[in-house]
């Protein structure tokens, strides 16, 4: 959920860039942000990623914490993550204290010369400041972090290996690496200087990157965004990816704006998306492939993060929590939000999965969910 497209950086590939004179700038008010979150919550979303440009006049730490507090207080959103510009340790602490789950920041490219070329001005031009972002976030208390590169800016082999090495460095220093790794490919953006990737990444190579990340970092959540075409997303979620976005808009107010149903590129977007399917449609796709959709937010609230999560996930023991929590949250969704077709398909998936749960009190918790109790988790 985008909060602001105001930005003082000049990234050549981004629609938010400062010198994009055609961009329509907007920063959501607190009430507008709450309305956006409420709109999404009422359609079944319980976890949101907040995104903002880098401009301390409009989206500073005071604004961000106020938005976070207001969304938690006035909506049914259970966990908020954030993709925000790098900041000082003390500001990261305020974000963490406000209840943010994952802090996400992409290096964009690990290749110094390419980085300098792609980021000619603004705070983001400082390669070392951005590279050390996760060190400061972890020092401030964030033990769930999200990393990624923007594929297409430089040779994908270099970028993938550099990200893996970055993750290993964090593990060696702090005892854990990233909670999530995203694999966005460069997409056209209104007002961007470049729209075609200097180093194109084919679908085959994209699959290789995801496979290498899964082998090198088996504990991470691999995130596939709506930048990718639906056919490719459908293929990858059956095999390697563990998290997927649905119905995403890349402009502030994009969910509740009067023209929200239109899917033509506009001057408020950061980039164009390829997969426009709704949450219900994506859940149906996952269920039809005989996989169990999960809307779980338990680990952040139970303290299974950082080193603890790394140890549990590394041994494969996280499944004893993931399976029952997936069933409980999916059952909630089917009752409260799903279309009739999704309900029919989804209930069969749940019925098949129940037998695999080994917790003694699970049947009782599932029955409480069916009776209308909400947010039950392990």
Write out the residue range of the structural domain in which residue 356 sits: 298-370
- Asked whether residue 234 falls in the same domain as residue 162, the answer is yes
Number of domains in the chain: 2
92 found inside a domain:
yes
Do 345 and 219 lie in one domain? The reply is no
Phi and psi torsions of 52, nearest 5°: -145, 155
Last residue of a domain, one of 246, 277, 308: 277
**CB distance 122 to 18 below 8 Å:** yes
CATH assignment at residue 91: 3.20.20.70
Question: What integer pLDDT is reported at residue 237 of this predicted model?
Answer: 86
- What pLDDT digit, counting tens, does each position of 132-162 carry? 999 999 999 999 999 999 999 999 999 999 9
Say which range, 63-67, 190-194, 200-204, 236-240, has the weakest mean pLDDT.
236-240
366-to-43, 161, 234 alpha-carbon distances in Å: 21, 43, 29
Give 217-233 pLDDT, tens digit per residue. Answer: 999 999 999 999 999 99
- Burial-class residue 178 by CB neighbours within 10 Å (0-12, 13-18, 19+): buried
Same domain, 269 and 313: no
Question: Please, are residues 76 and 39 in contact by the beta-carbon 8 Å criterion?
Answer: no
Structural domain ending residue among the three candidates 277, 309, 339: 277
pLDDT in tens, 9-43: 999 999 999 999 999 999 999 999 999 999 999 99
Sign of CA dihedral 324, 275, 252, 62: positive
pLDDT tens per residue, range 218-275:
999 999 999 999 999 999 988 788 999 999 998 999 999 876 665 555 656 677 788 9
- Whole-angstrom CA distances from 209 to 184, 185, 237 are 11, 11, 14
Average pLDDT over the chain reads: 95
| Separation of alpha carbons 18 and 249, rounded Å | 20
């Amino acid at each position: 959920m985008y909060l602001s497209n105001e930005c003082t950086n000049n990234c050549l590939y981004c629609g938010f860039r400062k010198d994009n004179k055609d961009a329509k700038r907007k920063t959501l008010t607190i009430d507008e942000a709450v309305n956006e979150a409420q709109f999404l919550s009422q359609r079944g979303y319980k976890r949101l990623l907040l995104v903002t440009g880098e401009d301390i006049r409009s989206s500073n730490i005071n604004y961000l914490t106020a938005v976070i507090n207001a969304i938690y207080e006035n909506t049914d959103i259970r966990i908020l993550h954030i993709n925000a510009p790098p900041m000082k340790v003390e500001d990261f602490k305020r974000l963490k204290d406000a209840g943010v789950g994952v802090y996400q920041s992409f290096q964009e490219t690990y290749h110094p010369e390419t980085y300098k070329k792609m980021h000619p001005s603004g705070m983001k031009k400082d390669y070392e400041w951005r590279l050390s972002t996760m060190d400061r976030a972890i020092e401030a208390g964030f033990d769930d972090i999200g990393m990624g590169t923007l594929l297409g800016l430089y040779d994908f082999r270099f970028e993938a290996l550099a990200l893996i090495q970055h993750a290993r460095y964090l593990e060696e220093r702090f005892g854990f690496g990233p909670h999530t790794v995203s694999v966005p490919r460069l997409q056209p953006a209104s007002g961007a200087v470049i729209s075609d990737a200097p180093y194109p990444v084919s679908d085959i190579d994209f699959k290789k990157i995801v496979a290498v990340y899964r082998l090198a970092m088996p504990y991470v959540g691999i995130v596939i965004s709506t930048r990718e075409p639906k056919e490719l997303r459908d293929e990858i979620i059956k095999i390697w990816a563990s998290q997927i976005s649905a119905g995403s808009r890349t402009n502030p107010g994009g969910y509740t704006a009067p023209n929200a149903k239109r899917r033509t590129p506009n001057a408020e977007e950061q980039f164009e998306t390829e997969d426009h399917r709704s949450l219900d449609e994506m859940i149906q796709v996952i269920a039809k492939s005989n996989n169990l959709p999960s809307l779980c937010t338990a680990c952040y609230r139970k303290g299974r993060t950082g080193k603890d999560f790394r140890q549990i996930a590394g041994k494969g023991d996280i499944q004893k929590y993931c399976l029952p929590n997936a069933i409980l949250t999916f059952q909630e969704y089917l009752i409260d939000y799903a279309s009739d077709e999704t309900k029919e398909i989804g209930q069969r998936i749940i019925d098949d999965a129940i037998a695999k749960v080994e917790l003694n009190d699970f049947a009782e918790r599932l029955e409480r969910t069916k009776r209308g109790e909400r947010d039950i988790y392990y």
